[in-house]
């Protein structure tokens, strides 16, 4: 079942349960899906990879907002953002542990023969594609830098 279909099913459940926070998050994702579909000017279906990226972007936006709210001492505003994150994360593939991501980064650096920071873009491209939806870019970037500098 496509992620779009799953989101629609969860929206119906949230409406029946009168869960406004979950409904708001799901509507935002649905809107992002529709926007992505019409962006190209052609009404084509999104690939699962594109759907995952859209949901990841929505999660990242909420994490950033929650961090800002918490920094400003506004727990009342951060709480709905954190709840929305948990609602959206159920549609993402299981996240890998940092150790597993580090193993993949090391293997990719070895396979590509990367030797310094000038190869960071090449390594990032390969690792990001391989781990799409399973690790965030910031974690990957930090680990790639760490191993290319050593």
Nearest to 26 by CA among 72, 94, 89: 89
Give the tens place of pLDDT for each residue, 23-74.
Answer: 999 999 999 998 888 876 656 788 888 888 899 899 999 999 999 999 999 9
Count of other CB atoms within 10 angstroms of residue 31:
12
Say what the pLDDT of residue 1 is: 64
Say what the pLDDT of residue 43 is: 63
Q: Over 80: is that where the pLDDT of 132 sits? A: no
Say what the pLDDT of residue 12 is: 94
Say what the pLDDT of residue 42 is: 58
DSSP assignment, residue 18?
T
- Close Cβ partners of 90 (under 8 Å, ≥ 6 residues apart): 10
Say what the pLDDT of residue 40 is: 66
Give the tens place of pLDDT for each residue, 75-124.
Answer: 999 999 999 999 998 988 887 788 888 888 888 888 888 787 888 888 88
């Amino acid at each position: 079942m496509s992620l779009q279909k799953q989101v629609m099913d969860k929206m119906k459940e949230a409406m029946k349960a009168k869960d406004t926070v979950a409904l708001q998050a799901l509507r935002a994702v649905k809107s992002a899906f529709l926007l992505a579909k019409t962006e190209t000017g052609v009404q084509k279906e999104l690939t699962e990879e594109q759907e995952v990226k859209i949901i990841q972007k929505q999660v990242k936006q909420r994490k950033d907002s929650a961090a800002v709210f918490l920094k400003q001492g506004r727990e009342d505003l951060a709480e709905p953002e954190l709840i929305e994150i948990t609602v959206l994360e159920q549609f993402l593939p299981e996240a890998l542990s940092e150790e597993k991501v580090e193993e993949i980064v090391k293997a990719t650096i070895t396979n590509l023969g990367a030797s310094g920071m000038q190869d960071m873009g090449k390594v990032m491209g390969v690792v990001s594609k391989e781990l799409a939806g399973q690790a965030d870019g910031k974690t990957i970037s930090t680990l790639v830098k760490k191993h290319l500098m050593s």
